[in-house]
Amino acid sequence: MHESSYKAGSGRRYQAGQGRPGRVPRILVTVVAVIALIVGGLALVRAVAPHAIAKLTAVSVRSLAIGAAALIVVAIILIVMARVASRRGNRVSVRGTAGGAIVAVVFAIMLTVAALLISNLFKDGIVKPSSPDKSPAQSAQNMQQSVEEAGIYCESGWSELSSQGYPGVTDVEICLKPRIAYVTFDNEFAADMYRAPLRYKIIEMFDEQANSTISKGDWRLLSGKKWSVFSYRTIIDKLQKQWGGTVEKIG
């Protein structure tokens, strides 16, 4: 004969060893929901600051988001199972069934969606690792001399472009052979504001003075806190080794 226990208020008896219905699904759904929340959080960290966690650099935001989405789907299925089991075991109230898991799933969805949006808007992340800035941006003469020290010689001679209308821009110099240009700024605010407009102005100048267009070359933008250099990838690679800075692909 099996021992049985009586659940007050339900009129039901459960055999010993079976436990209450819905308990295992509730525990399982909580674990899955928390893991989904953690993976969604990691996806957001990877999108915002790709280099914040070294081990995450090898994993894409998309992969983490897919993993979080799969866990979210499993958690939702388990939540439904837990609620159904709870209804069968206790018809009086089902409000508390897997409540914490539901909250975790909602936050996991929010984190995952935010990670995907940020990764699409900011390919290289929002928070970038600091790079050493060794450029001689104090004067045009120092910049040009340092370019030559990197083994890059301007055969056509440097030409100064007007920086009128760009307050905070101290110097804009361009070389047509080989094609290289640099911009120096008086402060970081001016650099953030005028870096992109001046880049397009330099591209237009190159296109006007040469037969080929920028889109046909492998171009890079090397930037420091108060300077930027625009040229071919091979030239930018040399300057980055000497000056530091961060590289952005153009086109």
Q: Which of 112, 24, 117, 100 is nearest to 71 (CA)?
A: 112
Residue pLDDT, tens place only, 1-49: 444 444 444 444 444 444 454 455 678 888 999 999 999 999 999 999 8
Angle at 224 between CA 238 and CA 124, to 5 degrees: 90
Note the residue count of the chain.
251
Give the model's pLDDT for residue 6: 43
The token pair that represents 126 in the structure block: 């929002």
Give the model's pLDDT for residue 4: 45
Alpha helix ranges (H) inside the chain: 23-48, 61-89, 99-121, 140-149, 188-209, 233-243
Rounded Cα distance between 188 and 31, Å, is 46
Give the model's pLDDT for residue 137: 65
Q: Decide which of 58 and 10 is more confident.
A: 58
Q: What is the mean pLDDT of the chain?
A: 80
The token pair that represents 194 in the structure block: 């005028």
Q: Which of 163, 158, 130 is nearest to 146 (CA)?
A: 158
The token pair that represents 92 in the structure block: 């009086």
pLDDT at residue 62 is higher than 80: yes
Helix, strand or coil, per DSSP, at residue 58:
coil
Among 47-51, 137-141, 184-188, 241-245, the range scoring the smallest mean pLDDT is: 137-141
CA 32 to chain centre: 25
Residue 5 phi, psi (nearest 5): -125, 150
Residue pLDDT, tens place only, 103-145: 999 999 999 999 999 999 887 788 876 656 566 766 667 888 8
Q: Across the chain, how many H-helices and E-strands are there?
A: 6, 8
Give the model's pLDDT for residue 108: 96
> Is the distance from CB of 155 to CB of 177 less than 8 angstroms?
yes
